Amino acid sequence: MKNILVLLVSLSFLSCKSQSKNESIVIYNNSFDYYIGNTHINMEKFTIKNQSKNNYWFWFSETEKTSKSDNLIIKEHFYKIRGDFSLYHIAVDANVGNYVPDVLTGFIKCLKPNDTFIIYIYNTEGDLYKKNDWLAKHLIYYEENYLSKILPSIRSFTNITLYKENYIILPYELIK
């Protein structure tokens, strides 16, 4: 049986569990609102906690994850040629001088055991459910040992390709 991780979405709590019922990754959600002048801002905060003893790798998918196999999801993100190179080639090339990733095509976050990562999604229009729904359909993550079966050199990825901050802020208008 494949080790597919499934996101379960609700408005107040977002929980992620693997098919084996192992609660390695848990995602908590809360929202808050405020105004800047006459503009209403809705902010969603998704806190991802790695409760396992293993590293987990996260990224955002350009397209909604559907019934694609794990192998295809991983290969599409890392091996798809964008410009002259794939993300995988950039990640293993020690000669890359400066790299600023596009969130939907080049973002990679490695979350170590007991670490947390926060995703803020803000919106000046629209509805709360759509942002929860976007994250459930586009956030991809795998345990490092599983990922290394498809990407054997993942543990030697250069630091330049890994997102270093413990949070990211995404404007919903640009990712929807």
pLDDT for 28-69, tens place per residue? 999 888 888 988 888 889 999 999 999 998 988 877 777 778
Which residues does 10 contact at the CB level (< 8 Å), separation at least 6?
A: 29, 132
- pTM for the full model? 0.75
Alpha helices in 32-104 (DSSP H): 70-79, 87-92
Q: For 63-83, what is the mean pLDDT? A: 76
Evaluate if residue 82 carries a pLDDT over 50.
yes
Q: What's the pLDDT score for residue 143?
A: 93
Evaluate if residue 118 carries a pLDDT over 80.
yes
Please, which pLDDT band fits residue 141 given cuts at 50, 70 and 90? Answer: very high
Report in angstroms the alpha-carbon separations of 90 from 55, 59, 136.
Answer: 21, 15, 27
42's tokens: 């809705």
Rounded to whole angstroms, how far apart are CA atoms 64 and 67?
Answer: 10
Q: What's the pLDDT score for residue 115?
A: 96
Please, which pLDDT band fits residue 9 given cuts at 50, 70 and 90? Answer: very low
Q: For 61-88, what is the mean pLDDT? A: 74
Please, which pLDDT band fits residue 132 given cuts at 50, 70 and 90? Answer: low
